């Protein structure tokens, strides 16, 4: 596969390490989250057959975490974003 890095252009996916669903960015605060929230965050997945937003890390590259929108049926990639920007857009900060 090829991931079109937003800063570096197309790179072989072999340079990247895969983590999983982009919802892993939505970590609840451990001091305030309920047991159920923390469990669902850590363990449950939508696992869609179709469009999937997912985290890839450019380990053999610029060390950016990316959010890649990829179809799990066709592997077509329709969007690649810097995870840091996505995190901020989801309200994460410090």
Partner 1 sequence: MSQSNRLTGGLIDRSVSVNFSFNGKNMQGFQGDTLASALLANGQRLVGRSFKYHRPRGIFSAGSEEPNALVQLRKGAAQEPNTRATMAELFDGLEATSQNHRGSLERDFMALTDLFAPFLSAGFYYKTFMWPKAFWERVYEPIIRSSAGLGRLSMQPDPDVYDHGYMHCDLLIIGAGPAGLAAALAAGRSGAQVVVADEDFLPGGRLNAETYAVEDMAGADWAAQAWAELQAMDNVRCMTRTTVYGAYDHGIYGALERRTDHLAASEGRPRQVLWRVYSRRAVLSAGATERSIAFPMNDRPGVMLAGAVRTYVNRYGVAPGKRVAVFTNNDDGLRTAADLKAQGVEVTGIIDARKGESLATTWGRKGLTAVGTASGRSIEADCLAVSGGWSPNVHLTCHQRGRPDWREDIAAFVPGADLPPGMSVAGAANGAMTLAAALKEGHAAACAALGDLGLSPAAGDAPKAEDETFDIKAFWHAPGKGRAWVDLQNDVTAKDVKLARTEGYRSVELLKRYTTLGMATDQGKTSNMLGLAVLAEASGKSIPDTGTTIFRPPYSPVAMGAFAGRARGKDFRPNRLTPSHKWAEEQSATFVTTGNWLRAQWFAQAGEKGWRDSVDREVVQTRRSVGICDVTTLGKIDIQGRDAAEFLNRIYSNAFLKLPVGKVRYGLMLREDGICYDDGTTARFSENHFVMTTTTANAVLVFRRMEFARQCLWPDLDVHLISTTDAWAQFAVAGPNARALLGKVVDDLDLSNEGFPFMACAECTVCGGTPGRLFRISFSGELAFEVAVPARYGDAMIRALMQAGEEFGAIPYGTEALGVMRIEKGHAAGNELNGQTTAANLGLGMMVSKKKDSIGSKLSEREEMNRDDGLRLVGLHPVDRNDMLNAGAHFVELDDHHPDMFSDQGYMTSVAWSPELSHSIGLGFVKRGKDRIGDIVRAYDPVRGKDTKVEIVSAHHIDPEGVRQRG
Partner 2 sequence: MGYSAFKVFWQGLTGNKGWQPAWREPDPRPQYDIIIIGGGGHGLATAYYLAKEFGVRNVAVVEKGWLGSGNIGRNTTIIRANYLLPGNQPFYELSLKLWENLEQDFNYNAMVSQRSILNLIHSDPQRDAFARRANAMRLSGADSELLGPDEIRALCPFLDFDNARFPIQGALRQKRGGTVRHDAVAWGYARGADMHGVDIIQNCEVTGIDITDGVCTGVQTTRGPIRAKKVAMCAAGSSGRVAALADMRLPIESHVLQAFVTEGLKPTLPGVITFGAGHFYVSQSDKGGLVFGGDIDGYNTYAQRGNLPVVEDVCEGGMAIMPMIGRARLLRGWGGVMDMSMDGSPFIDKTGTQGLYVNAGWCYGGFKATPASGYCYAHLLAKDQPHEVATQFRLDRFRRGAPIDEKGVGAQPNLH
Partner 3 sequence: MASLTPAPPLGGYDMTFGELRLRECSELALVSLALPLGDEAAAKKAIKSSLKLDLPAPGMSAVNDTHRLIRMGPDQAMLIFADDAALAEPAVQTALKGACYTTNQTDAWVALSLAGPGVRDVLERLCPLDLHDATFPVDAAARTVMEHMGAMIVREEQDGFVLLSASSSAGSFLHAVETSIGYVT
Interface residue list for partner 2 (CB under 8 A): 1, 12-14, 18-21, 35-36, 39-40, 42-49, 52, 54, 70, 72-75
> What residues form DSSP beta bridges with 21?
54
3-state secondary structure of 50: coil
The number of C-alpha atoms within 13 Å of 86 and in the hemisphere containing its C-beta is 21
4 scored as a contact of partner 3 (CB under 8 A): no
Cβ count within 10 A of residue 39: 11
Pairing between β-strand 17-21 and β-strand 9-12 as defined by DSSP bridges: unpaired
26 scored as a contact of partner 3 (CB under 8 A): no
Among 31, 46, 49, 63, binds partner 3 (CB under 8 A): 63
74 scored as a contact of partner 1 (CB under 8 A): yes
Q: How far is the CB of 93 from partner 2 (least distance, A)?
A: 25
């Amino acid at each position: 596969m090829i991931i079109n890095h937003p800063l570096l252009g197309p790179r072989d996916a072999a340079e990247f390490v895969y983590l999983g669903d982009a919802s892993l960015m939505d970590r609840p605060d451990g001091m305030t989250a309920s047991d159920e929230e923390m469990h669902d965050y850590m363990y449950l997945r939508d696992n869609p057959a179709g469009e999937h937003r997912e985290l890839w890390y450019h380990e053999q590259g610029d060390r950016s975490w990316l959010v890649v929108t990829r179809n799990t049926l066709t592997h077509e990639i329709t969007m690649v974003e810097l995870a840091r920007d996505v995190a901020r857009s989801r309200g994460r900060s410090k």
